[in-house]
Each structure stands twice: as structure tokens, then as C-alpha cells.
Amino acid sequence: MSDSDAVLVLADGTVINGNGLGCHGNKEGEVVFNTSMTGYQEALTDPSYKYQILTFTYPLIGNYGTNETDFESDNVHVSGVVVKESCLSPSHPFMKKSVNKFFEEHKIVGIEGVDTRALTRKLRNFGVMNGILKFPYDEGEIDELKEKAKRAAGISDYDLVTMVTIKEPKIYNVHGAKKTAVMIDCGVKEGIAKNITERKINLIKVPANFSADKILEYNPNGIIVSNGPGDPKRADYIIKTVRELTKEKIPVFGICLGHQILALSSGADTYKLKFGHRGSNQPVKDLITGKCYVTSQNHGFAVDAKSAKNANLEVTQINLNDGSVEGLRSKDLKMFSVQYHPEVHPGPYLLGHVFDEFREML
């Protein structure tokens, strides 16, 4: 492959050259970074990365290949991928194919040979921004690509949940289960569904546009609002549904985007973070127990703490890096939420008690 046959152009006019990886294509999206050292397959198949060009800060991606068990959904959702180096000779006993083959098979447009440290520093200093990733490209296209990147729609311009939610309900029947939870699928990771069913709870996953009345037809003992992509305020129909469900006094549990939706349904506000939290090393403090956890996260929006208190919500956990809200609990309803991912795929495995808390609420 020839040098500099792929290019990433940012909205501020920055041009980053590299070598093409995966399929040919021209992709746009919000350029973000993930600081995890492992878990690239889980990230690529996480619906929360819809309309994002994902930069991996770890310099070597693909050293253990890809397998058949680390999928978090049926599809790859990233718009594009930026890496320093992809491993051509991976090694792992459960490996099925290299990331290069994985990229080609799933039609992922990528670029390697990039100084991902410099790109990450730029995004930390100036905030995430839109970009255009093109492979292959021609030098004569650069001005046009700069203009396209500058004009590209922002992530808040789309209702991304509708692009990733399931089309029909999916039922997980668990032998011996005595309780049933309905999960509003905003772009859920399979690790979340697995953690629920492992706790002997029947699970019914429903499309994000299901009304409260349709959800109540399942006679659920509890409601889960899942993770998902984009700006929570664009999912106003889910906010309305959750507000109606809470009137029924049913226990409600929110994760990531679901955490933000629960806050909005209660009257709190959300805001966009400068560069988000994406990685498996985010420190969180539980304000009730005093314990600290290293958490796995993937989000670009957060709940405003002051507005949460005014909405009769108690802030139960905070991020120790920036003080942002990581956990909420209603003061008068059976409702709580966490901003991080307690299913911890790819890790660290410290947060199963969050699912136990939901089970106890049922």
C-alpha cells in the first residue's frame, strides 16, 4: 500500500495523512478518542459510537485479533477508525481473524500511521470536532474536504437512537426467573442484557419508540433505559415515555444515555462535554459509601448537577477527574441511574453490584 493514500480532515482545517485501513470510502462524523488499552472489538460494535470517527490512543490495535464472542451488537456502528498501527500478525487462542480482515468484512473505513497522541491532545485542548475520513484520496480534493468537514452536521443534529434501536421486541426468557424487566433499547450493548439475565430476570427488549402503554402491556416489574448514541435531548419521545412510566411507581434503572434521559424526564438538564469520557479507566466516587471505582465509559454528554438537585434527584456518584455527575437517585421514586457502563465490557470487572441493586428493587 502506498504512503499517504488516506486522509482525515478536521473541521478546523487540520489535515492528517496516513495509510488506508479496511474498505475504501468517504465518511464523516465527530472525531473522538478512546483511552482503553484493550476492547477495540467491543468499541467498534458499541452502538453508542454511531456517527463518530473513533481514535484509539493505544498505539497498537489488533494484537489479539477479533473473535466471535466480543460483539456488543450485530453491527459495526463507528463512522471511521483512526489508529497509530494495526497488527498484521495477531496471536490469541480464540482469534478468528485479524482487525484488517475484520475491517474489510464489516466495511469499516480506517486510517493508520497517524500520530494519535497529537490528535488526542488537539481534541482535549479544543474539544471534539467533526471530520471527514477519505480512503483513497487525491491531493486536489483537500480544499473540498476541508469545506465539507466545516459544514458537516453536528452530532446533536441527528436523532441517532432511531438508527440503532431494534425494530421489533426481543424476549430473553430465563429458566426459573420470577421477575420481568422491559428494556428500552436506545442502542444497548449485549453485555447489559447478559448481566440482567444472569441475575434470573426475564428481559424484554423493545424499540425506543414504544409508548408507555405498549410497555405496560408486558406487566413489567422494572424498566431499564439503555445506553445509546448522541444527544439525549433529541430522544424527547423516550423522555416522555419514561416520565409516564415513573407515574406507575415501577422501578426504573438508567445506564449512560439512559441515565441522562432519566434526569431529563425528572426536569434536570444535560450539557455537552468538551471531549467526553471514553475508555476503561475513569475514576468514580460513590458519595454514599465513600468507595471509589475504576469504570468503563463512553459518552459525550453529562447531567448538570445543580439542575439535578432542583429536580428532586440526589447525586450519588461523581467523576473524580472533572466532578461531573456519574450517579443519580430519585428522592421519592424507585429510580436510579449511572453514567458509566456497569457491564464493564471490556472491563474492569468491579461493578456487578449495580445490577444487583436493580434486582433488589424488583
pTM over 0.75: yes
Annotation says 23 is catalytic: no
Map out the domains of the chain with their CATH numbers.
6-157 (3.50.30.20), 161-361 (3.40.50.880)
Is residue 343 within 8 A of residue 195, CB to CB? The reply is yes
Catalytic residue among 259, 277, 341, 345: 341
Confidence of residue 347 (pLDDT cuts 50, 70, 90): confident
Element (DSSP H or E) covering residue 243: helix 236-246
Confidence of residue 1 (pLDDT cuts 50, 70, 90): very low
Q: Is residue 117 scored above 50 in pLDDT?
A: yes
Residues placed in the known binding site: 48, 228, 230, 257, 260, 298, 300-301
Average of pLDDT values for 321-333? 97
Give dist(CA 29, CA 50) in Å, integer.
9
Catalytic residue among 42, 256, 326, 345: 256
Q: Where would I find the beta strands (DSSP E) of the chain? A: 6-10, 15-22, 25-34, 52-56, 60-61, 80-82, 85-86, 109-112, 129-135, 170-172, 179-185, 201-207, 222-225, 252-255, 270-286, 292-303, 313-319, 325-330, 335-338
Residues placed in the known binding site for L-glutamine: 48, 228, 230, 257, 260, 298, 300-301
Confidence of residue 2 (pLDDT cuts 50, 70, 90): very low
Element (DSSP H or E) covering residue 144: helix 142-151
**Maximum Cα–Cα distance across the chain:** 64
Catalytic residue among 186, 299, 343, 345: 343
Burial class (CB in 10 A: 0-12, 13-18, 19+), 88: exposed
Is residue 183 within 8 A of residue 204, CB to CB? The reply is yes
Is residue 161 within 8 A of residue 185, CB to CB? The reply is no
Annotation says 353 is catalytic: no
pLDDT attached to residue 339: 98
Annotation says 256 is catalytic: yes
